Amino acid sequence: MSVARPVAVPARLRHDYDALRAWLPRVHESVAALATPLPADEAAARAALAPRLEILRRQMLGSPWWLDTLRAHGLSPRDLQTLDDLRGFPTLARAELRRQAHALPSFDPESEEARQVVLIRSSGSTGEPVEVLKDTYDTLHMWAVLRFWLHALAKPLPDQPRVALLCALPGGLEYSSRLPALNDGLLTRISSVRERPLQRLLQADPQLLFSDPAGFHWLLAQPDAPRPLLALSSAQYLAPQIRAQVQKRLGCPVLDYYSTSETGAIAWRCPQAPDNWHVLTPEVWVEQLEGELVVTRLRDSVLPVIRYRTGDRGEVRFGRCACGRVGYSITGFHGRRACNFVAPNGGLADAWTLAWIFKYHDLEDFRLTQTDTSDFELEVIGAAETGELLDKLQRALAHMGWPQPRVKLLRVDAITKQGAKPEPFRVAGALQARP
């Protein structure tokens, strides 16, 4: 058995402008690969993707956990020769990713590459936050995907684009950062819970606007709004009527995409056929395993993400979409389920805006259920001390419209769920509301 190696992780990203610009050729390679259509015949399409398996073989050979796991199954990385062979390889569960954070990476911990990696903690909105290793390119890859989406939507990328990330979480973090991978653009993170957020958003005048459904709910209630070229939504369920309202208000398309901290971007909702989520081939491969979406990342990274069990539900199909795109799409997608709590005034409040509270607490799992207008029940597994958690939760609920919220804490050994996907937020009984 191999010994898990310690991973030296810098405390923060290195914002060296020239060093980041050095990755531009790989950004352009990713855009070109994503923009290359697959053959119309599925057998030919799979053959076109097969060379990417060499990346996985190399990653597994350098990963102690993958080598040990494959040996236990009587397998070797060299047994992976076709996409069909993946079906015989073990899956990677979220809990295993959490436990094996230092044995999964594929690199020499004494190398220069090791000094460039960073440790990112996921949101924990599913109840199981994970620490994900990312190399420099992992932190830039989203900008390559954004460049591809602009190309797919026939929208030119401006020189030095202004990009805003509108955040509705009560944490209030704000910052600005240069984007050498995006035509030397400027990213500004704006918190809607700090003073005068609309003023700062309008001053930023973004051409590209990222947010989530909670942020767009907030924006729809404001007296004014920016006019970007494109808005992008992720992290939570975006109701069709909200998407339509946002598009009308901003005067631009809203692109809804499917992503996880562990895998990066996976798929994007087709603007013409909304039930189709186009998989980002050739950099991602998606299978369905008893209805669950299982994701393999087909690009180089220090973290081999192979047959990762997302817990999301859907069906993967190959064919030509109504938009004309040929390739793999996810249909019947059941991830990022919505949950609206019912406020005392009868309005709806997006429960997912509370996800930030649980990110920094050592919880194996949790579920927050609204049981009556001002009553909530919090089930937790783990975390010896919960006083700070309850205090943050009650203050956040007060900020969302509950003057005197009552939260009952229940320590449990297990949380019952419907299906494989965690359900961190729920509305009980007659209070249930749909977006």
Domain boundary among 278, 305, 334: 334
Regarding whether 268 and 133 lie in a shared domain, the answer is yes
Which residues constitute the domain of residue 203? 159-252
**Are 115 and 173 within one domain?**
no
Residue that is written with structure tokens 């704000």 in the block = 174
329 SS3 class: strand
Domains identified in the chain, total number: 3
pLDDT confidence tier of residue 88, bands split at 50, 70 and 90: very high
Percent of the chain with pLDDT over 70: 86
Higher-pLDDT residue of 396 and 172 is 396
CB 374 within 8 A of CB 404: yes
Residue 367 domain flag? yes
Query: Does one domain contain both 358 and 266?
Result: no
Residues 88 and 225 in one domain: no
C-alpha to C-alpha distance for 258 and 265, rounded to whole angstroms: 6
Q: Is the pLDDT of residue 252 over 80?
A: yes
- Residue 305 sits in the same domain as residue 220: no
Per-residue pLDDT reduced to its tens digit, 18-56: 778 889 999 999 999 999 999 999 999 999 999 999 999
- Report the CATH number at residue 363: 3.30.300
Position 316 confidence tier, pLDDT thresholds 50, 70, 90: very high
The domain spanning residue 287 has which CATH number?
3.40.50.12780
Nearest residue to 355 (alpha-carbon basis) of 217, 166, 170: 170
Q: Are residues 44 and 128 in the same domain?
A: yes
Say whether pTM exceeds 0.85: no
Map residue 277 onto helix, strand or coil: strand
Kindly indicate the confidence band of residue 355, based on its pLDDT and cuts at 50, 70 and 90.
confident
CATH of the domain at 228: 3.40.50
Q: Do residues 235 and 268 both lie within one domain?
A: no
pLDDT in tens, 102-132: 889 887 666 666 667 777 766 544 445 667 8
Q: Do 25 and 136 reside in the same domain of the chain?
A: yes
The predicted model gives 285-290 an average pLDDT of: 95
| 9 is a domain residue | no
Indicate the SS3 state at residue 285: strand
Residue type, 125: S
